[in-house]
Amino acid sequence: MAQAQQRAKNGRGGWYVERLPLGYLYGEPLRSRAAPGLVLSEREYSPFFRTPRHTHGHALLCLVVHGGYTETFGTRARVCEPPLLIFHPAEEVHMEQFHQTGGRLFIVELEPKWLERVRDQAHVIAEAAEFRGGDLVYLGMKLYREFLQGADDLSPLIIEGLVLTILGEASRRSPAPLPQKPPPWLLQVREMLHARFAEPLTLTEIAHSVGVHPVYLAQMFHKYFKCTVGAYIRHLRLEFARRELATSDAPLCQIALAAGFSDQSHFTRTFKRYVGVTPAQYRESLLGIRRSGQAMTPCADPETSMLSLL
């Protein structure tokens, strides 16, 4: 890592700090993955580990998962312990001193060009900020869970949507109360998802179709429907599959492709994760119910059962 680091001089005091490029962080890497414009990683820090004074050439979000540390940035200092989500702007000089328990952090690095495109269309937070508890930490934990567990083709879309929602919420200063009903354009988005859930939609494409920015779409969709666009699509795919398993004799591979899954294996993994059994087991259980003469439970309405899959 040292070879990839750059040194930046502070003109006032003449001292040097390490300037870390995208993808280079202190601590022991546990796991990492990428999404459009984002690099996500989980890192572990030993007790009393101390980072040198450093900056990043890009902004980042940091969720304190376990342990704690004291961070100095500029002339200020703060104690960082869960539940805490921090926004670090690009070029902020800071250093960390971990406590006796060490620590584990979930870090999302924002590629400068990606963040510039977002800022071209919306006001996005530019100053250092911290959020202790509340909705933003909850969103950070959802993002962390998707980072750990998301394995299907919708996971990058969900991750991007959650990051945009976090940035949008963090950028607000005095939010106005939401109207009781979603705006017409958001209802149009929902109709589009119901009609085209099997297609490989992107957040940018969906937002463009209704004339809004992806940041605004991600933010408003989560506020009204309590989930990301990607999670909503995943739910629609699973509900379609459940109906097909219950009402048709179509092969599993055919149902998988019709629902929008890349193949039967992908369908089986996702179905078992969110429903609790494999598609074959689900179908067999329905056959058993029919043989015994019991009433079948209808498939859930996507709008009333969405939270069960989040």
Q: At residue 10, does pLDDT exceed 60? A: no
Which tokens is 255 given? Answer: 């149902």
Q: How far apart are CA 141 and CA 162, in angstroms?
A: 10
Each residue of 64-83: pLDDT tens digit?
Answer: 999 999 999 877 888 999 99
Q: At residue 260, does pLDDT exceed 90? A: yes
Q: Pick from 40, 38, 62: which is nearest to 115 by CA?
A: 38
pLDDT of residue 278: 94
| Residue-range domains of the chain with CATH | 2-131 (2.60.120.10), 147-172+181-231 (no CATH), 236-309 (1.10.10.60)
Q: At residue 184, does pLDDT exceed 80? A: yes
Q: Residue 244: which H helix or E strand, with range?
A: helix 229-247
Q: Please state the rounded mean pLDDT for residues 291-308.
A: 46
Q: At residue 266, does pLDDT exceed 90? A: yes
pLDDT of residue 56: 95
Q: At residue 43, does pLDDT exceed 90? A: yes
Q: Please state the rounded mean pLDDT for residues 208-221.
A: 92
Q: Please state the rounded mean pLDDT for residues 154-178.
A: 82
Residue 133 pLDDT grade (very low, low, confident, very high; cuts 50, 70, 90): confident
| CA dist 206 → 230, 238, 247 (Å) | 11, 20, 31
Classify strands 38-45 and 94-110 as parallel, antiparallel or unpaired: antiparallel
pLDDT of residue 290: 59
pTM for this entry? 0.70
Q: How far apart are CA 112 and CA 57, in angstroms?
A: 8
